Structure 1
Amino acid sequence: MNGFRGKFHAMRAFAAERGWTFALSGEKEGALLEQLHGEPFHLPEPTTDAFPYPVLGRHRHRLSDVMHGGFRDRSAVVFTYTREQEILDDGFGRRGRENSCHWIAALLDLPAPVPLLQVTPRTPAPAAYPGVTTGDPRVDERFHVHAADAAWAARALRDLAPALLDRPARAWRISSTSILTWTWIPPTPGIPLDQVDAALDHLATVAGCLMPSA
């Protein structure tokens, strides 16, 4: 309990120092949840022949540790996200609920709509969404790119290549008027405050390259 209380006070102080608001619970963040459709929050539904077996049951989406504020003249949100899997049948007779996934995420608002573009570091696991190529092997070998407009994405990412390749690989998605990044963490309480500025700085850099006049 002392560890939780200490992290709570640290997050509240961190937000207060920046003039941000802080809420331990994200129960009132329905509008924010609507902005988060896509990986990793809302994945495609598994097929009935999913390997090794389909897990039947609903997902429950929960936000917590929500901080709202300004960052480089943009509106920012930083929060913890948990996706709970309600298990109705997993092929082995299990029932109930498990907290299967836990992330820290950050979001910046954009002044104008932008086509869907998602960039995630490549891993051995199959990608959740179909990919496109940019024509830049440095980008294509390091990142999986999912986009609504493949030609626009290729042009944008070729311009972004120096910023992407000079930084640690990070997942991000830009869609309509928001840009989002997320990082998986073990299910421990609190936001790692030493990572907040790096996440928002990355988003601001990407947004600045895509919308230089914004």
Structure 2
Amino acid sequence: MTIRIGETAPDFDADTTTGPINFHEWIGSSWAFFFSHPGDFTPVCTTEMGRTAQLAERFAELNTKPIGLSTDSVEEHLSWISDVNETQNTVLRFPIVADPDLRIAKLYEMIHPSQSETAAVRSVFIIDPAKKVRLTMTYPLSIGRNFDEIIRVIMALQTSDKNRVSMPADWQPGQDVIIPPSIKNDEAKTLFPQGWNELRPYLRMTKI
């Protein structure tokens, strides 16, 4: 199946490094950062797992739970975590899903045969508390993710939801946002009493 933005994230039951979970129950009322990596005891993956652990407080501030996945076993994950902690100077506490039979990786289309028949590519799924997929990104096996962008896009999605706004290119917190064309001027006056800068009838910038 194809994982599309706006659709419900496929549910699953799995063993993880913190015990068995049902994915939707585990997400609960939080957001989720679900990401796959090609394999345990590999260099790029080690840095990514370490960076996720280092950002634990930031993810918590954003009501977002990280959860990793690879096609290795729980035992391999647990053994690898000690290496991650030592080499990346952190303490990894978030769960890593074990998927040795590729069941979940195939469900989420993380296996790209031109890259590998058994190792997952570096997929990212940002999932909201309603269990809807809000963003997908895929990186090749050889390139680590940009965690600044992952944090930025979570903030952007949450700000957009809260304020009914859209975000311009390269948006950062505190910068102007866009009033969507679907909100007509009469309603916009109520929603945005601070007013806006109308660069074009379809391009209205405001502060929040």
TM normalised by structure 2 equals 0.31
- Please identify the structure whose Cα radius of gyration is greater: 2
